[in-house]
Structure 1
Amino acid sequence: MRSSRKNNLPPQRTTGPRGPRPAPRREENNTRRGPPVAREDGPQRIAKLLARAGVASRRDIERMIAEGRIALDGDVLTTPATLLENLRGVTVDGKPVAPPAAARLWRFYKPAGCLTAARDPAGRPTIYDRLPAGLPRVMPVGRLDFMTEGLLLLTNDGELKRQLELPSTAVVRHYRARAFGEVSQAQLEALSEGVEIEGMRYGSIDANLERRTGSNCWIELSLTEGKNREVRRVLAHLGLQVSRLIRTAYGPFTMMDLDPGDIGEVQREDLFRFRQTLKTPAAKKPPVEK
């Protein structure tokens, strides 16, 4: 008989209410309307437009411009600050850029032992070796290091990727860590004040000791920054050696029904409702004329 406890993990809490989906609202003309699409008027930076079209992240697009790979009407661009109304006439590596598709989001259970990268010079396996054929071009939201497993969000939309990664939007990442060593709940609670390690400042972390098994313990952590190897470095600072690290949730999205290597798309309506809840930096108010 197959165990009901998946992946040898302690019981996992849900991150939000679950239940039957409400029936779609009926419009007077008996047609179904999808969620409204946010629009921005006026010229925008080409890096933003290309990221929105799913070509690459803004940072990667800036690098591609510096390498002379992006052109407008045949002229190679030299600055990512170029302002455009749309991507008509823009080419990447000589190929026209397709209009941006609707934003989509997938949940992927990244197995341990693969990179969150498109390719590796050392020939190690990457997440793209595990993804099924037929997906559009997708970009990872944040990263999980080589031996970290668990939930990795993937999207075809560069702006959605950036929105989910920004600390200012305060999307909470949830982790479980199995570690060797001794630690007290008081030490873990002190992480809520943040900690500085070798000149790097890490923000508030909500950490709780779940259980002990001999010399090992399970620790649950929640954070919003997601800096490189943050969980491993913070726990090492407390004298712990992490033997297994799993990201169990990213915002309201969990890996509860996924096995390693599995992928599932987030429904459009759920994605739209989630984006409505994201915090955004306060806009600067225009000066008042006297």
Structure 2
Amino acid sequence: MERLQKYLARTGVSARRDAEQLILAGRVKVNGRVVKELGFKVGENDVVEVDGRVVKPEKLIYLLMYKPAGYVTTVDDPFGRPTVLSLLAGKVKERVFPVGRLDMNTEGLLLLTNDGELAMALTHPKHQFPKMYLALVRGTPNRSKLLELEKGILLEDGYTAPAKVVYKKPYGKNSWIEITIHEGRKRQVRRMFKKIGHPVLKLIRTRIGFLTGYGLKKGSFRYLTPQEVIKLKRYARSTRGE
């Protein structure tokens, strides 16, 4: 027996936190009855439905994609914009969802999976899963400005956690800066550089934890190796104190 939200996460419907919202909204039935209790437990013989569709745990898969600019990091988009899932059409039969987000104009690495438990562990701020970006910013930030980013800077939604910042090289009158963060606030890197007066002109996510984009072209993806999946799960367990 396991909690309903964990079961839903294993079906690939959504990450566990989103599954909790589905339950609270009354969109989930167990054996024909609407269940709104987050602590409700289900077993293998129970019939679970979401919005009238029976769902069952799927084979877990893990993908690493190089997202091009111009794609939204959602399962679907009400405005008809292309989503990252359209890049998998006809290539991956399992339903997957993005782990975290990259804004439409940002390119680079993105994890996709149907493992809701792992997705929740990797996106929760307290787990401090690092993401590295390469940012082309306007002008040349001096060392004191970069130190502001390293120590944590005040944004509209509070102070950012300390970041690792490395000046890489000039690009005409502008600069390439490498920054590593472990939070996932909306448009965080762009807002951080804007706050110090050097807005981002181009942004690329180059690393997720230990995963790099070596060999990936824009719009392409690969399956994680079994060893990479084990390493990700070990990381998730260690951050939960297991």
Per the normalisation by structure 1, the TM-score is 0.77
**Which of the residues 253, 258, 275 maps onto 2:216?**
258
The CA deviation string for residues 85-109 of structure 1, in whole angstroms up to 9 with x for no partner, is 44622122333322342x3211101
How far apart are residue 260 of structure 1 and its match? 0.8
Partner of 2:82: 125
**Kept in 1: contact 2:48–2:56 (CA 8 A):** no
Partner of 1:58: 16
**Which of the residues 89, 92, 106 maps onto 2:50?**
92
2:175 counterpart of 1:217: yes
2:62 counterpart of 1:105: yes
2:235 counterpart of 1:271: no
Task: Letter of the 1:125 partner, please give it.
Answer: P
Give the aligned CA root-mean-square deviation in angstroms: 1.9
Correspondence list, 1:133-144, <5 A: 133-135=90-92, 136-144=94-102
- Please, which runs of 5 or more residues in structure 1 have no aligned partner? 1-42, 284-290
Task: Letter of the 1:133 partner, please give it.
Answer: G
Task: Letter of the 2:79 partner, please give it.
Answer: A
Higher alpha-carbon deviation: 247-256 or 74-83: 74-83
- Structure 1 199/261 Cα, relative in aligned 2: closer, same or farther at 3 Å? closer
Partner of 1:246: 204
**Kept in 2: contact 1:131–1:261 (CA 8 A):** no
Higher alpha-carbon deviation: 122-131 or 157-166: 122-131
CA distance in 2: counterparts of 1:241 and 1:187, whole angstroms:
13
Task: Letter of the 1:234 partner, please give it.
Answer: M
Per the normalisation by structure 2, the TM-score is 0.91
Paired positions, count: 240
SS for the counterpart of 2:108 is strand
Task: Letter of the 2:73 partner, please give it.
Answer: T
How far apart are residue 163 of structure 1 and its match? 1.3
- Structure 1 226/104 Cα, relative in aligned 2: closer, same or farther at 3 Å? same
Task: Letter of the 2:200 partner, please give it.
Answer: V
Q: Percent identity?
A: 36
- Structure 1 193/159 Cα, relative in aligned 2: closer, same or farther at 3 Å? same
CA distance in 2: counterparts of 1:70 and 1:125, whole angstroms:
29
Task: Letter of the 2:77 partner, please give it.
Answer: D
Higher alpha-carbon deviation: 131-140 or 247-256: 131-140
- Structure 1 212/53 Cα, relative in aligned 2: closer, same or farther at 3 Å? same
**Kept in 1: contact 2:134–2:179 (CA 8 A):** yes
Task: Letter of the 1:206 partner, please give it.
Answer: K
CA distance in 2: counterparts of 1:169 and 1:61, whole angstroms:
20
The CA deviation string for residues 1-36 of structure 1, in whole angstroms up to 9 with x for no partner, is xxxxxxxxxxxxxxxxxxxxxxxxxxxxxxxxxxxx
SS for the counterpart of 1:190 is helix
Please identify the structure whose Cα radius of gyration is greater: 1
Higher alpha-carbon deviation: 149-158 or 92-101: 92-101
Task: Letter of the 1:220 partner, please give it.
Answer: E
Task: Letter of the 1:153 partner, please give it.
Answer: L
Partner of 2:240: 281
- Structure 1 90/107 Cα, relative in aligned 2: closer, same or farther at 3 Å? same
**Kept in 2: contact 1:104–1:268 (CA 8 A):** no
Task: Letter of the 2:34 partner, please give it.
Answer: V
CA distance in 1: counterparts of 2:34 and 2:56, whole angstroms:
18
SS for the counterpart of 2:150 is helix
Partner of 1:77: 35
